[in-house]
Amino acid sequence: MIPVRLHITPTKTQLEQMASMIGIEPVENQIHIPPAFGSGFLRYYALPYEIQLHHYCYNLHQQVQVNGINDEEDGMYMLQINLSNRIIEKNIGEGKRRLSESGKSGVIFYSPGFHSSGVNEVNQEFEVVFFSFPPATVSAHLNVGQWERLFQQRKFCMYTELPEALDQELRKTLIQEEHENPFVKNGQRLEILGKVLNLFGQRKYMPEHRLTSQDIDKMFAVKEVLLQHIFGSPPTIDQLAVDMAMSKSKLKADFKSLFGNSIYQYYLSRKMEVAKDLLIRKEGTVSEIGYRLGYSNIAQFSAQFKKHHGCTPGKVKQA
C-alpha cells in the first residue's frame, strides 16, 4: 500500500501536492494518472472567494492510502461528495464512514480539525469531488442565521445525501467542452456548491454541540443498523442506546446533529426512498412492496409514501 499525505491548507492545492508526489507537472490544472499506476485524472478548479474544487476520477492498479491533514489552526472547511457508483468508505477522525447508500451520492461536510483518510479498491472506478474553503470565506459569506451558530462551534461534522437532480447537475458542470466559456462553467460550479450548502442550511436540526470522533463513529454505526432493518421494523431507541453504550438523550441529540433529523424520521425517509426505487423498477405490486418493507397495513404505507413523496405509490408504479 502506498501512503500519501495531503496537507489541507489555503496555500497549496491537493493537485500541486499530488503532482509533486507522482513526479509530473500539471497541465492546465490537471494531471493524468501514469499507466504504471492505472488510469484517470485529478483536476483542480479555482473558484471565487478562495474556494478550491478538486475532482478525482481514477482506477488504480494498487492500493493508495490518502491521508488528509486538516489542522484546526490553518485548515479548510471540507465538503466531500461521492460520485462513485458504489459505496465508498472514508475515515473522518478515527472511524469509517460509508459515503453512499441506496444509489445516492453521500455528502459529508466537516470543519478544520478533522483529519481524514481513505483507501481505494484495486481496479475499481473511484470518483469524488472536494469543495474546500478557508475560514475567511465563511466569515465573509456564510456567517449569518443558522450558519453563524454553527461556525461559532469551530468544529463540526454533518452528513446528507445529494438529490438525484442535483447529482446530475453537478456531473454536467464537471465536463468542460472546448467551446464552453470557463467563467460560465465556474459560475455553475459555484452555484452547485451553494445548493449543496443549502441542503445543510435548511436542515431541521443543526449541530448544537461538538461531536468527538467517537461520537461520529457511533452515529454512523447507528445509521448502518437502521439501513439493515429497512425491510422490517427498526430497533428501539432503548436497544440502540444499549448497543452504543450511551444515554438515550445523547443518542438522539448526536444523531440529529450529524444527520439533521431524528432517528425515526431518518429511518422512515430511507424506507420511503427504497419503496420508490422498488416501485420504479416494478419489483412487485404496491401491496407486495409494502409487505416487504414491514407494513401489515397497506393504507398506512400508502399514506406515509404520499406524505414523503407527494404522490401515491400507485402513481409511481404506473409511470
Per-residue burial over 233-256, b if 16 or more Cβ lie within 10 Å, else e, is: ebbebeebbeebebeeeebbbbbb
How confident is the model over 285-294, as a mean pLDDT?
92
**Chain segment 76-118, per-residue pLDDT in tens:** 999 999 888 655 455 455 444 444 333 346 899 998 988 887 7
Q: What is the pLDDT of residue 86?
A: 52
Write the CA distances from 247 to 213, 226, 237, 314, integer angstroms: 17, 18, 10, 41
pTM: 0.84
- Rounded CA-CA distance 105/83 in Å is 6
Rg (CA), the chain: 21
Contact 77, 125 (CB under 8 A): no
Mean of the pLDDT values across residues 257-276?
Answer: 93
Alpha-carbon gap, residue 32 to 27, rounded angstroms: 9
**143 by DSSP, 3-state: which?**
coil
pLDDT digits (tens, 9 = 90+) for 129-162: 999 999 888 877 776 676 777 777 778 889 998 8
